[in-house]
Amino acid sequence: MTYPFAFTNRRPSLRVRGVACAALVVATVSLSGCALLEGPTPVTPERETVVAPEVAPELVPGGSADENLPYFTEVLRSFAAGDALIKGEPVARAVADAGFDKSQIQVSFDRSATGLEADNIFVSVQLGADCLVGQVVTADRTVATETAPAVGPEKNICLIGQTAVINW
């Protein structure tokens, strides 16, 4: 008995394989391109401007992060309104000079791992189980602050990653 469509061990020619591969690449690129064009366009939220309070906030010694957030915000806002370079040490020094415990302050590096100038300086102060976290943007000197819980196995980290050594 003979079969009209006998299976053989013949492999497709290089030309057939090349055409199939090219068709697969064209289809993949075409479909990927469609996915990039469709969908919602993300909207960048406007950064809130921190305004000076009517009544100057004060440091609450032994107070919580929530109680000291207005004072911390005012310290960073006042620093950013000045002429000092936005670098890690001056920002951290302003926070320490305002009365926060220097041993509880963490600050980010002035330069990235690739040697570029930092776009932002982050500074934090741990107060109990929570942290005051501040960001000063180098380009426009805007400030953002918040409270966040301390993290890490010992709950003693406010800024994730390696931070600059405060040895001044």
* Edge-to-edge order in the sheet of strand 120-127: 105-107, 120-127, 130-137, 143-149
Question: Please, what is the Cα angle at 148 between 65 and 93, to 5 degrees?
Answer: 60
pLDDT (mean) for 28-34: 65
Question: Which one is predicted more confidently, 34 or 139?
Answer: 139
pLDDT (mean) for 127-155: 97
Of 105, 142, 100, the closest CA to residue 120 belongs to: 142
Question: Which one is predicted more confidently, 159 or 23?
Answer: 159
With contact defined as beta carbons under 8 Å apart, do 66 and 132 qualify? no
- Average pLDDT of the chain, as a whole number: 86
Torsion over CA: 51, 53, 54, 56 (sign): negative
Burial class (CB in 10 A: 0-12, 13-18, 19+), 118: middle
For the chain, domain boundaries: 65-149
- pLDDT tens per residue, range 68-97: 999 999 999 999 999 999 999 999 999 999
39 falls in which pLDDT band (50, 70, 90)?
Answer: low
Question: Can you point out the beta strands (E) in the chain?
Answer: 105-107, 120-127, 130-137, 143-149
Extract the tokens encoding 161: 């990653």
- pLDDT tens per residue, range 3-25: 555 555 566 667 777 777 777 77
53 falls in which pLDDT band (50, 70, 90)?
Answer: low
List, as own/partner pairs, every contact residues 16-23 make where C-beta atoms lie below 8 angstroms and the sequence separation is at least 24, other chains included. Answer: none
Report the pLDDT value the prediction gives residue 54, as an integer from 0 to 100.
80
